[in-house]
Chains A and B, each alone.
Chain A
Amino acid sequence: MSKIRMLWKKIPEQLRHLLVPLVIIAAGYLLVRWILVPADFGYLGHYRASSITANLQKPIRYAGAEACEGCHNEVGATLKQGYHRGVACEACHAPASAHSEDPENIKPTVTRTRTLCLLCHEYLSTRPTGFPQVVADSHNPSRPCVSCHRSHDPKPPQPLKKCEACHAKIQGLLALSNHAELNCTSCHTTPARHYTRPREYPPQRLQSRQVCLDCHDKTASRVQEISRVDGATHGEKYLCWQCHYPHLPEAR
Chain B
Amino acid sequence: MDHSTANLWPLLKEVTGYIFPNEIELHWGLLVVIYPYLTGLVAGAFILASLVKVFNVREVQPTYRLSLLTALAFLIVAPLPLVAHLSRPERALEIFLTPSVTSAMAMFGFVYVWYLMAVLLLEIWFDHRHELILRAEKEKGLKRVFLRVLSLYSKDIRPAALAFDKKAVYVITVIGVPSALILHGYVGFIFGSVKANPWWSSVLMPIVFLFSATVSGIALMLFLYMVITLFRRRKLDMACLDKLANFLFYMMLIDFTLEGLDFIQRVYQAEESIKIIGQMISQRIFVSLIVIQVLLGMLLPLIAIAAVKIFRFPAELRRLIYFVSAILVQVGIFATRWNVVIGGQLFSKSFRGLTTYKIGIGGMEGLLVSLAFLVLPFIILYALVKILPPWGEDATHRRATAAN
Contact = CB atoms under 8 A, between A and B. Distances in A.
Q: Do A and B contact each other directly (Cβ–Cβ < 8 Å)?
A: yes
Interface of A: 12-14, 17-18, 20-21, 25, 29, 32-33, 36-37, 41-42, 46
A20 B126 CA distance: 15
Nearest to B157: A13
B142 interface: no
Given A14-B126, A14-B129, A41 B152 contact: no
B154 A17 contact: yes
B5 interface: no
Given A14-B154, A42-B98, 5 more contacts: A12-B161, A13-B155, A18-B125, A20-B152, A29-B96
A107 B12 CA distance: 37
Nearest to B162: A14
B239 to A, nearest CB: 33
A12 B164 contact: yes
Say what secondary structure dominates the interface of chain A.
helix
A129 B166 CA distance: 82
B122 to A, nearest CB: 8
Contact of A13 (B100, B126, B161): B161
Interface residues of B, number: 19
B161 A14 contact: yes
6 contacts: A12-B156, A12-B161, A13-B155, A14-B129, A20-B152, A25-B117
A29 B93 CA distance: 11
A245 to B, nearest CB: 27
Contacts of A32: 93, 97
Say what secondary structure dominates the interface of chain B.
helix
A36 to B, nearest CB: 6
B371 to A, nearest CB: 32
B168 interface: yes
B105 to A, nearest CB: 14
A13 B156 contact: yes
Interface in B86-109: 93, 96-98, 100
Contacts of B153: 17
A13 B162 CA distance: 11
Interface of B: 93, 96-98, 100, 117, 122, 125-126, 129, 152-156, 161, 164-165, 168
Nearest to B125: A18
Contacts of A25: 117
Given A20-B152, A21-B152, A14 B168 contact: yes
Nearest to B118: A22
A37 B97 CA distance: 7
Contacts, number: 37
Contacts of A20: 152
A32 B97 CA distance: 8
A46 B100 contact: yes
B93 A14 contact: no
Nearest to A13: B156
Contacts of A18: 122, 125, 152
Nearest to B101: A46
B97 A33 contact: yes
A36 B93 contact: yes
B164 A46 contact: no
Contacts of A42: 98
A20 B153 CA distance: 11
Contacts of B96: 29
A21 B129 CA distance: 15
A46 B98 contact: yes
A223 B93 CA distance: 84
B72 to A, nearest CB: 16
B140 to A, nearest CB: 22
Contact of A14 (B97, B100, B165): B165
Nearest to A16: B154
A155 B208 CA distance: 67
Nearest to B155: A13
A28 B361 CA distance: 39
A21 B152 CA distance: 9
B326 to A, nearest CB: 36
Contacts of B165: 14
Contacts of B129: 14
Given A20-B152, A36-B93, A14 B98 contact: no
A59 B98 CA distance: 29
A213 B154 CA distance: 106
A36 B92 CA distance: 12
A17 B97 contact: no
Given A36-B97, A37-B97, A46-B100, A17 B152 contact: yes
A36 B93 CA distance: 9
B97 A13 contact: no
Contacts of B125: 18
A147 B65 CA distance: 87
A12 B154 CA distance: 10
Contacts of A41: 98
A45 to B, nearest CB: 10
A229 B96 CA distance: 78
